[in-house]
A and B are shown apart, each in its own frame.
Chain A
């Protein structure tokens, strides 16, 4: 995250710089005692975040903010001031934060955390769902699926993924996950699993975007990468691609398939989705065999044919 600091008091500026450097994860690209100089250079700097003092002699922080808006600056602004009375105005102009001096490290850490989702909008996809064979949820390079205390949390996430991001009636979800329980108890278990996921994911710093409303639930797949979806997208793209590209897309899809969806999780409800993807994969192998035979690449044709005929080799 790139950050610019503006404060007419030199020692306040240096103190803030020091605290931010010690917290880490930020690059301070500008330090200004004079807001006019900052305004002159802001188009080039384009910081994610600007820490702005309020009471300054040449122009106050709100005037600087107005000038930033006039310049089309989209940086988020945090006011840093010794005075509490400007906070309502800060809310009115949508300042990301308002810190009352003296600035503490804990308070700064909160600010950086609040600012990060906006600043990190161009960063890599935060979550990845791996569903073929072994179900895992990877966030920040770590499998967070292994950390659930209750198996049903992972199962709920898997079920919602299998519904492809569409809203599903809660009764249907509860019945699938707790088929032997009375409806009332199954629904209560569902709410508990949902709350547990939110709490645990929050503590680990990653949010599983499950939406719950008016008798239905879904997982918002926006911005999440998932091998099941990628497999589907590759096959769809292959249908209309020119021959060379089609081969490439189909082979890429084939490498994604490492086994039945959620195979090692033994979810009772997973039979339907497993059958669906197995069928698609076998069809894909047949298409690859035909394609390579028609190209004269008999070695590759035979390799895919072997996978087709010997199930144990299908995911090698």
Chain B
């Protein structure tokens, strides 16, 4: 499984380390810029994209819309400091919502959720 992280390096590097320890995650890529993240997704089949939703420079709803419109289907996991946007995240079709600080337990939950979802979708 490949995972893409979109957000500031200082926020995402801890998550990157945690993901690498969890089994089943073969590659983790970090991007601070939406454009480069989209380019990467065009070339790579990323199972999950973890998006830092607290970046004041750009609204997470805009980023989610851009990612969904750009083509490859990727499950977006929104990372936020508070719970206020969770209902809106459901509206936007976000796959999961994690409250910071993100720990290994939360990441494992998301990966298991993704695996179970794929099993249901691919059931003959």
> Which residues of chain A are within 8 angstroms of B2 by Cβ–Cβ distance?
213
A195 nearest in chain B by CB position: B71
Contacts of A121 in B (CB 8 A): 120-121, 123
Q: Say if the beta carbon of B20 comes within 8 Å of chain A.
A: no
A135 at the interface (CB under 8 A from B): no
- Known A191-B42, A212-B43, A213-B45; judge A198-B72 contact (CB<8 A): yes
Q: B34 to chain A: closest CB distance in Å? A: 16
Give chain B nearest CB distance to A173 CB in angstroms. 13
CB–CB B70/A195 < 8 A: yes
Chain B interface, DSSP helix/strand/loop, else mixed: mixed
A91 to B77, CA, bound (A): 10
CB <8 Å contact, A87 and B83: yes
Q: Is A97 an interface residue (CB 8 A)?
A: yes
Size of B's binding interface in residues, CB under 8 A: 29
Known contacts: A84-B86, A191-B42, A214-B44. The answer to whether A118 contacts B120 by CB under 8 A is yes
Q: What's the nearest-Cβ distance from chain A to residue B122, in Å?
A: 6
- Which of chain A's residues has its CB closest to B95's CB? A91
CB distance B109 to A92 under 8 Å? yes
Residues of B within 8 A of A92 (CB): 109
Report A81-101 CB contacts with B as 1/0, cut-off 8 Å: 000110110111010011110
Query: How far does the alpha carbon of A223 sit from the alpha carbon of B121 in the complex, in Å?
Result: 10
Q: Decide if B91 is an interface residue (CB 8 Å cutoff).
A: yes
Please, which residues of chain B bring their CB within 8 A of the CB of A212? Answer: 42-45, 72
Q: Does A194 contact B (CB under 8 A)?
A: yes
Choose one: B42, B90, B109, B122; the contact of A195 (CB below 8 Å). B42
Q: Mark B88-124, 1 if CB is under 8 A from A, else 0.
A: 0111010011010000000001000100100011111
Q: Are B71 and A194 in contact (CB under 8 A)?
A: yes
Residues of B within 8 A of A (CB): 2, 42-45, 69-73, 83-84, 86-87, 89-91, 93, 96-97, 99, 109, 113, 116, 120-124
> Footprint of B on A, CB under 8 Å?
84-85, 87-88, 90-92, 94, 97-100, 107, 110, 114, 117-118, 121-122, 191, 194-195, 198-199, 207, 211-215, 222-223
8 tightest Cβ-Cβ pairs between the two chains A and B = A87-B86, A198-B71, A84-B87, A87-B87, A213-B45, A98-B90, A121-B123, A88-B83
